[in-house]
Structure 1
Amino acid sequence: MEGEKNKMNIHFIKSSEKKRIIEQLNEQFGIESLPYLLIETGKEKIRAFSGSLSKEEISELSRTLNIEIIGQYLIKKEHDLRLSMDATQILSKQITKKVVEINEEELDLWLHGYDLPIKTERGTVILKYQSNFVGSGKSNCDKIINHVPKERRLKN
């Protein structure tokens, strides 16, 4: 069928796996809770759903309708976990580890899609400008590699 190509493959994350994810988020960033239904959707992406539908209702809808997307993109599972730009804001009150403070010039570079020449510990870091979290990137110790999606980068 034509519509089958775009249909989302929904996999609900079990409570034991959710617990492991939260433990890893706590170890990496100090995050202690995710009060959401977690859904894994291809390419190692985890989405968070906080609506009133049950797992069963979502499954039934996905069988009868062409659901392309559900929930908010939260985490990319790689060697470690990388928070999406939105997740850094949604979970900002819990983030206490691996935070790199940046200045206005670095923020401008970051939002335009450039890597930042900041030496820091290897792995995923969360960037913060003043009181705002502005995304996450991967540090290779010499620079922080930009992960701002192309469609969200500033153009000028």
Structure 2
Amino acid sequence: MLAAAAAAAAATAAAAAAAAAAAAAVRGETISCRNKNNSSNSSCLVGEICCCDPQQQQQQQQQQHQQQQQQHQRQQQQQQQQQQKQQKQQKQQHHQHHQQHHQHPQQQQQQHQQQQQQQQQQQQQQHQQQQQQQHHQMS
């Protein structure tokens, strides 16, 4: 939430700076600055394409940086959520495995099938290997 608010504030500030530059250009003010290829200093209208306003450039860079940070945070959150889901499933399987030792053989088979389904959903080879070992121990 804070990052989004900061990005909105930065966007507002950039828009304000652009509006100020446009207003200055209308008044016919000139500033001394480097043109786009950085080869020479030239005097040109504020807000014209030939001008590189260092303040504006800095704001644009900050905005891009904030957007990158937000994307990174979203990716991290998604990864954490996936890890939590996997951990829950692993705990359930572990719990079922314990229950198997105290139950009737027919019920054991049913639970074993449930475990197979869960492991296929997870699509993790590690768990499939564990399951094959369990099956081998049971038979």
TM-score range, shorter-chain basis? under 0.3
Relative contact order higher in (CA < 8 Å, ≥ 6 apart): 1
Give the strand-richer structure, 1 or 2: 1
TM-score between both structures, scaled by the size of structure 1:
0.17
TM-score (norm 2): 0.18
